[in-house]
Structure 1
Amino acid sequence: MVLEPHDILEINSRDLISHSPLPEWAVLSLELAPFVVVRRANAPHGQVAVGIRGKKRNERFAAFLPDNKVIPQIKPEHLTERYLWENKQSPVFSSLTISADLFNKYRFSWGPGGSVGFELASSVQTVTLESDLDIIVRAPEPLPMNVGVQIVNELKKSPVRIDVQVETPAGAFSLIEYVSDSGHVLLKTIYGPKLSKNPWMDPKS
């Protein structure tokens, strides 16, 4: 299976490749939950760029992993079954239910990212009362503008802020920015961010 940004990987921490020592919080985090998140970055051949999450928003550490050292791979779209969060009492998970109804209605390939996705994948509590909900939508083909507008308007009814990142073959962009119809979106690519008129085009072209 292809490794993509936002995928959560269970690993053996001894397999991590880092050009600087891991901070103490990162070591403790991996002891609690040996999971990392695939980053959007250009990695050396045979490696994948990953990030270690800590308890605080500013606790993020970039590293690399040999791509043959993944134990299981958990994609956001693997985390959409409601039984995974049905007993979790939080506005974030109520918003996830609203999102599930909406994205399943449009038959999108989607899933939760960020702290919600990490908690559902690792079974370690990472969601707080301040957490937003990150949703990852796979869009290999251009997304109709009218559908994007409908989704953004429906998600405004959620009890917490929902950030929808649309993943294309070229990179990722914010759905809210896309529906503003400004003519450009900020496309996140493995080569860095760039303004794009067509976020489904190869960023090198």
Structure 2
Amino acid sequence: MVYQLISKDLKERALWLIEHNYIPSDVCEIFNISERSLSCWEKNQAGFGSVSPPPNPLRGRPRILNSIVSHEIFDLVEKVPEMFLDEIQEWLLVAHNISISRTALYKLLKKAAAERDEDLQEEWLQDVNTHFVASQFVMVDETRKDDRTIYRHYGCAPKGRRAVLPTMNPYLQDHSIIILDNCSIHKGRHLPNYLV
């Protein structure tokens, strides 16, 4: 017999007929079920009080990271926020002998970031909106830079404008505040030399 999903009420009705002295083979024929299924439902009813067994608590894949290791990762990222995913992977392997994919690590950190304090974010945004205007900011991101390239060949800019770093101005004038991502190369002592 081919596997088919059988509703709980049909299972209960079949057992009701058995309890009321119907012949098991007749019940199986009426509901188009196997005697083995009927026997299984009787065992479930006797053992669990229901025709369906309770859900298995061990179902699903086991977690790679327990809560202690997860919190250690969050502490590490808080102390050294410029770490890349591969550096965190290496730390996990050395410190805890745990191998985890970048995707799984990214999802863990993304979920944690989504649960950050929204009130604090709103307060920061309010402060920025109160004290600054958009023309003061210059956003910089080296989207495609690695050991094989010295500089970028492409850039993004508003339509009709070139993707170049404009001449920076004194603080609080237009183009006076550079916003960089949290990449580790942006934290070196050499960076101010390039911005002058």
Which bracket does the TM-score occupy, shorter chain normalised?
A: under 0.3
TM-score by length of 1: 0.26
TM-score by length of 2: 0.27
Q: Which has the larger Rg?
A: 2
Which has the larger share of strand? Answer: 1
Which structure is higher in RCO with an 8 Å CA cutoff and minimum separation 6? 1
